[in-house]
A and B are shown apart, each in its own frame.
Chain A
Amino acid sequence: MWGTFFATMLIVMTIVFLQWPKMKTNPKKDKTAFIVLLVIGLLLSMLDLQYMKGPTSVRQFLFKPFVEYMQKYLF
C-alpha cells in the first residue's frame, strides 16, 4: 500500500519538476490550484481505493430508488 503512495509521490514530484518552470508567469491562483490538486492526489493515494466505497457506490445509492422504480414499471 505504501508502494502506491511512494509511486504517486514520485510522479507528483516529476510533474512539479517539469511543470513548475513553465508556470512562472501564471497568476498565483493557477499555482495554488496546481498544488492543491496534486495534494489531493497524494492524499487519495494513501487509501486503498479499489476496495473502498467510491463515487460509484454513492451514485448507486442515490439512484437506487429510481432504478427500482424503473425496473418495477418497465421490466
Chain B
Amino acid sequence: MQMSMLLYLTIIATGIITLPAITAKYAGNDLWISPIIASLAGFLIVFIAVKLHNLYPRKTVMQYSEDIIGRIPGKVIGFFVLFFYMEITGNVIRSYSEFILTSFLFRTPLIFVIASMLILCAFCIYGRLEVLARCAQFLFPVFILPLFFSIAFLARDFQFGNILPVLENGIMPPLKAAIPPSGWFGEIFVIAFLLPYLADGKKGMKFGILSVLGAMLTLMIVNLAALFVLGMAISNKTYPLMNVIRYASLGSFFENIEAVIMAVWIVGAFVKISVLYYVLTLGTAQWLNLSDYRPVVWPIGILLVQFTYWGVPSEMALGRSDATDFPLYSFFIQLSLPLFLLVIALMRNKYKKKKVGKPVQT
C-alpha cells in the first residue's frame, strides 16, 4: 500500500501541472482520452518489471541485467539506466524550480530553490526506504485532498459543453497526444528498484497496477476540469491547472487559493524527486557493488544539481524536449530495455530447462 502511494505520487506529481497543456495541443478537446491510452504503457511496464522480478527475486534491474546478459553488457545497460535517471531527475528538479519561480517567488535565485529541495530529499533517502515510504504515505492526503477540493470548488465554473464533440477527428489525435503522458507513465519503471524491498513481494503487481490506475484517473479528472473551465484555451497555457485554480473561489472571501496548488506541487515534487534520487543512488551503489548506498547520497546530490543546469538554458527548452523526445527516450530505457531483458531471460530459462531438465536457480 505504501508503495502504491509512492509510485502514484511519482507519476502524477509533475504531470498534473504541465501535461494538460501538452496533451491539449495534439488532442484538442479529446485530451481526457489520452491518459487512458497512455496508461497502457504503464500497465505493460508494471507487467514486465514484475515478471522480471519473479524470475530474479530480491534483485533490482541493476543486478539481474548482469545475470541475464552477462557482466559487461549488464554494466553497460546499467550505465544507460543510471544516466537516464540522472538526467530525468535533473529535469524534474528543474521544472519544479522553474514553476515555483515563475508562479510564486519571482526574485528568489534558482539555485536556492533547487538546493533546498535536494537537501531535503537527500535527508529523506538517507533515512532509507522506509522513511521515504512513510513520508509518501503521510503526504499522500496532503497532496490529494487539496487537489480534489479545489477542483470541487471549481464546479460552478464548469462548462460541460466543452467536451463536445467527442472524437471529432477520429481516434488519431488523442492517440498522438497519448505519447507525451506515456513518458510519465513510463516512470512506473522505478517499481523495478522497489520490488525487492517490498515486505510482501507477491502484491507487487497489484500495487503497481493500482498506482497506474490511480494516476490515470487523476490525470483524466484534471484534464477534464481544465477542459471544462478553460475550453480550448488550455493549449496556450504553460501551467493550465494553475490557471484553472485561479478561477476557484471559496465563498466570496478566499479568492486566490493557488497557494494550495503550490503546496500540492511542492509535496508532489518532493516525493517524486526523492523516489528518483533514491533509485539513482541505489542503482549507483549496486552498479559499483557498494555495501551501502548511503555514502553516495550526497556526492550524487552535487551531480544532480549540475545536471539540472547542464544544457538547459531555459524552461522553454525543457518544455520542448518534454513533448518530443522525452517520451521516446523514456520508452527506450524504461520499456524496450526491460522488454529486451525479459525476452532474453525467458529464452535462457527455456534453454536451460531443456538442457538441465529442471528450473534454473539464480
User: Which A positions have Cβ atoms within 8 angstroms of B?
Assistant: 8, 11-12, 15, 19, 22-23, 26-27, 29-31, 33-34, 37-38, 40-41, 44-45, 49-57, 59-60, 63-64, 66-67, 70-71, 74-75
B161 contacts partner chain A, Cβ-Cβ < 8 Å: no
Question: What chain B residues lie within 8 Å of A67 (beta carbons)?
Answer: 324-325, 328
Asked whether, in the complex, the Cβ of A23 is within 8 Å of the Cβ of B295, the reply is yes
Give, as a whole number of angstroms, the nearest-CB distance from B86 to chain A.
8
Q: A29-B289, A59-B321 are in contact. List 14 more A-B contacts (CB 8 A).
A: A15-B302, A26-B291, A33-B284, A33-B296, A37-B303, A45-B302, A50-B311, A52-B310, A53-B311, A54-B310, A63-B325, A63-B332, A66-B325, A67-B325
Question: What chain B residues lie within 8 Å of A44 (beta carbons)?
Answer: 303, 306, 310
Asked whether, in the complex, the Cβ of B311 is within 8 Å of the Cβ of A34, the reply is no
Asked whether, in the complex, the Cβ of A8 is within 8 Å of the Cβ of B302, the reply is yes
Contact of B312 among A38, A40, A56, A70 (CB under 8 A): A56
Bound complex: CA of A6 vs CA of B176, how far in Å? 47
Nearest CB in chain B to that of A69: its residue = B328
Nearest CB in chain B to that of A14: its residue = B298
For chain B, what secondary structure do more than half of its interface residues adopt (helix, strand, loop), or is it mixed? helix
Asked whether, in the complex, the Cβ of A63 is within 8 Å of the Cβ of B328, the reply is yes
Question: What chain B residues lie within 8 Å of A29 (beta carbons)?
Answer: 288-291
Asked whether, in the complex, the Cβ of A55 is within 8 Å of the Cβ of B310, the reply is yes
Asked whether, in the complex, the Cβ of A54 is within 8 Å of the Cβ of B291, the reply is no
Bound complex: CA of A22 vs CA of B297, how far in Å? 13
Bound complex: CA of A7 vs CA of B303, how far in Å? 14
Give, as a whole number of angstroms, the nearest-CB distance from B128 to chain A.
14
For chain A, what secondary structure do more than half of its interface residues adopt (helix, strand, loop), or is it mixed? helix
Bound complex: CA of A75 vs CA of B298, how far in Å? 43
Give, as a whole number of angstroms, the nearest-CB distance from A10 to chain B.
11
B309 contacts partner chain A, Cβ-Cβ < 8 Å: yes
Give, as a whole number of angstroms, the nearest-CB distance from B82 to chain A.
12
Asked whether, in the complex, the Cβ of B306 is within 8 Å of the Cβ of A33, the reply is no
Give, as a whole number of angstroms, the nearest-CB distance from B116 to chain A.
13
Q: A67-B325, A74-B176 are in contact. Are A55 and B311 (CB under 8 A)?
A: yes
Question: What chain B residues lie within 8 Å of A19 (beta carbons)?
Answer: 295, 298
Contact with A along B262-299 (1 / 0, CB 8 A): 00000000000000000000001100111110111011
Asked whether, in the complex, the Cβ of A49 is within 8 Å of the Cβ of B296, the reply is no
The interface size of chain B toward A, counting residues with CB under 8 Å, comes to: 39
Bound complex: CA of A23 vs CA of B290, how far in Å? 12
Question: What chain B residues lie within 8 Å of A66 (beta carbons)?
Answer: 325, 328
B70 contacts partner chain A, Cβ-Cβ < 8 Å: no
Asked whether, in the complex, the Cβ of B303 is within 8 Å of the Cβ of A41, the reply is yes
Residue with the highest number of chain A CB atoms closer than 10 Å, among B298, B300, B318: B298
Nearest CB in chain A to that of B310: its residue = A54
Bound complex: CA of A30 vs CA of B311, how far in Å? 30
Give, as a whole number of angstroms, the nearest-CB distance from B260 to chain A.
32
Bound complex: CA of A2 vs CA of B251, how far in Å? 54
Asked whether, in the complex, the Cβ of A56 is within 8 Å of the Cβ of B309, the reply is no
Question: What chain A residues lie within 8 Å of B356 (beta carbons)?
Answer: none
Bound complex: CA of A12 vs CA of B311, how far in Å? 23
Question: What chain A residues lie within 8 Å of B26 (beta carbons)?
Answer: 75
Nearest CB in chain A to that of B289: its residue = A29
17 residue pairs from A and B, CB less than 8 Å apart:
A23-B295, A26-B291, A26-B292, A30-B290, A30-B291, A33-B296, A37-B284, A41-B299, A44-B310, A45-B302, A50-B312, A55-B311, A56-B91, A56-B312, A56-B317, A56-B318, A60-B321
Asked whether, in the complex, the Cβ of B303 is within 8 Å of the Cβ of A40, the reply is yes
Bound complex: CA of A44 vs CA of B302, how far in Å? 10
Question: What chain A residues lie within 8 Å of B303 (beta carbons)?
Answer: 37, 40-41, 44
Give, as a whole number of angstroms, the nearest-CB distance from B328 to chain A.
5
Question: What chain A residues lie within 8 Å of B288 (beta carbons)?
Answer: 29, 33
B98 contacts partner chain A, Cβ-Cβ < 8 Å: no
Nearest CB in chain B to that of A54: its residue = B311
Asked whether, in the complex, the Cβ of B83 is within 8 Å of the Cβ of A55, the reply is yes
Asked whether, in the complex, the Cβ of A49 is within 8 Å of the Cβ of B87, the reply is no
B307 contacts partner chain A, Cβ-Cβ < 8 Å: yes
Nearest CB in chain A to that of B83: its residue = A55
